[in-house]
Chain A
Amino acid sequence: MAAAVAAAGRSEWTRIVATLARDLGDLDLAEDATQDAIAEALTAWARTGIPDRPGAWLTTVARRRAIDRLRRNAMRSDREEVVARLEAREASEVPTTQDDQLALILTCCHPALAPEARIALTLRSVAGLSTPEIARAFLVPEATMAQRLVRAKRKIRDAGIGFRVPRAAEMADRLESVCAVVYLVFNEGYSASSGDQLLRTDLCDEAIRLGQLLEQLLPGEAEVVGLTALMQLTHSRRATRLDDRGELVLLDQQDRSRWDHDLIAAAVARLDGTPPDDTIGPYRAQAEIARCHAVAASPAETDWTAIVERYRALLGAVDSPVVALNAAVAKSMVEGPGAGLAAIDALAATGDLDEYHLLHSARADLLRRLDRPVEAAAAYRRALALVGTSPERRFLERRLAEVAGTVTPIGPSIAEPLHFGGVPVDGSPTS
């Protein structure tokens, strides 16, 4: 029974919290009342069996518990009015609309909230993760995370951030913030090499689930489809990106039979199902690049010409030197290492990426392929001086030893850790 309640609570959480939050104008109360209903289901359902419509049962009970809690709260001057609204809603049996859930997500991701507060709120209020779970996933003390959530909810209430779906003119800006929050959740789960590994993979699944929810709420939105596909395509490689010893495995060295081909198929299907907008957005463009890698049966069969073209589209959507760097590496795959090096040197001349280790490791790789080992070694040393995480560091050390001629080559590389589908627009490491 506990499992049935947990499953119902899990699948209904967003819908119930959303409908209550909109009537109550209070996230805390909405969450507490939903929690009450789930707890009550444990004993009630053990007695009576699982109701025909578990979601409707939970919603009704949650609404009643919200009314109880409101009546006990003498501090709220508008409580009679809100109770009346809730009772009217129950009597009319108006089903929750998609708009309630959309309003909830947009509120949690409101640009007036600090970015880390948006992430925490989205995981708590929309995804239904507990505060301790979120704290563990982000490696912060539980008290810190609880405080972050309290402050965010206080700002929603005191600054008058309403639970509403914005007008069409505002929507683009607001949707961008939502997509960014979901993608940050995903990257937090994907790129970190420390912490509770299991929970971090959960964050990736959670982010993909949020992407799918957004797809339902905003059908036909090419950027939302692109975001979800991008996360699925990146996540499909989770089993192969590190080897048994925790070393980074480059895309062209990964065992493609161990990629999650169901996830790849799901991503490709959603991309094919929704055509991109006339002006392609950053998530869609990245997803299209990731798709090229994902559908190639072997590294040699990768359609680099298509990838170069899609990088051009991505550069049109995001003016980022990191993307320009990735585009230069892709170019080297089509036109050869000389052309790639020229593009990278032009980029290096701007100085924007001077402190970015991937610029130097990409230069190093091209110099190595051009059989210029002395310059390659210098570039690897520069990259090593800047690199942070240890798997990437060990990879660069092996490469440096190789060009310095002290060990046997570790195999051909056509792809330095740069353009692995999930393009790090924000510069986060990918593989």
Chain B
Amino acid sequence: MKYMLLIYTDPEAAPVAGTPEFDLTHHRWMTYTDDLAATGTLVAGDALQSAETATTVRVRSGDRLTTDGPFAETKEMLGGYYLIDVAGLDEAIEWAERMPNITYGSVEVRPVMDFLGDGG
């Protein structure tokens, strides 16, 4: 089954660039991504630019409404994602648990909808 791991982090709680913690965390992300790839689990994954760069778009009554900022104002921001392919939720949770931000951020695990019935 495919799962989207949505990575949320409070920028205030994250390590700051230029500190040893930042370098260590960066290294951990690289290792983590390598592990996902090496086990054949990784389908896709990206880090996103900060939430200040976000633009939210809606169309209401035919008019396009474009607003600055993310869809929901929360302390924890969506900072990136991985799309993984694993046997089931327990395995997806295990990968989420290993994510470098897990001690100061959170990861939402969402199964990907399977339209074709081919196991996603």
Contacts and interface: CB of A to CB of B under 8 A. Distances in A.
B90 A166 contact: yes
Interface string B22-51: 000000000000000000000000000000
A162 B90 contact: yes
A155 to B, nearest CB: 9
Nearest to B93: A112
A164 B117 CA distance: 22
Contact of B117 (A77, A158, A159): A77
Given A159-B89, A160-B89, A162-B89, 12 more contacts: A78-B117, A110-B89, A112-B89, A159-B109, A160-B1, A160-B88, A160-B92, A161-B90, A162-B87, A162-B88, A166-B90, A170-B90
Main secondary structure of the interface of B (DSSP, over half): mixed
24 contacts: A77-B117, A110-B89, A112-B89, A112-B93, A158-B111, A159-B89, A159-B109, A159-B111, A160-B1, A160-B3, A160-B87, A160-B89, A160-B92, A160-B111, A161-B89, A161-B90, A162-B87, A162-B88, A162-B89, A162-B90, A164-B88, A166-B90, A170-B90, A170-B94
Interface residues of B, number: 12
A96 B111 CA distance: 30
A161 B94 CA distance: 13
A161 B88 contact: yes
A164 B88 CA distance: 10
Contacts of B92: 160
Contacts of A158: 111
Contacts of A160: 1, 3, 87-89, 92, 111
A164 B111 contact: no
Interface of B: 1, 3, 87-90, 92-94, 109, 111, 117
Nearest to A170: B90
Contacts of A110: 89
B88 to A, nearest CB: 4
Contacts of B94: 170
With a 10 A CB-CB cut-off, give which of B3, B92, B111 has the most chain A CB atoms.
B111
Contacts of B111: 158-160
Nearest to B87: A162
Interface in A162-216: 162, 164, 166, 170
Contacts of B93: 112
Nearest to B3: A160
Contacts of A77: 117
A241 to B, nearest CB: 41
With a 10 A CB-CB cut-off, give which of B1, B88, B92, B94 has the most chain A CB atoms.
B88
B72 to A, nearest CB: 22
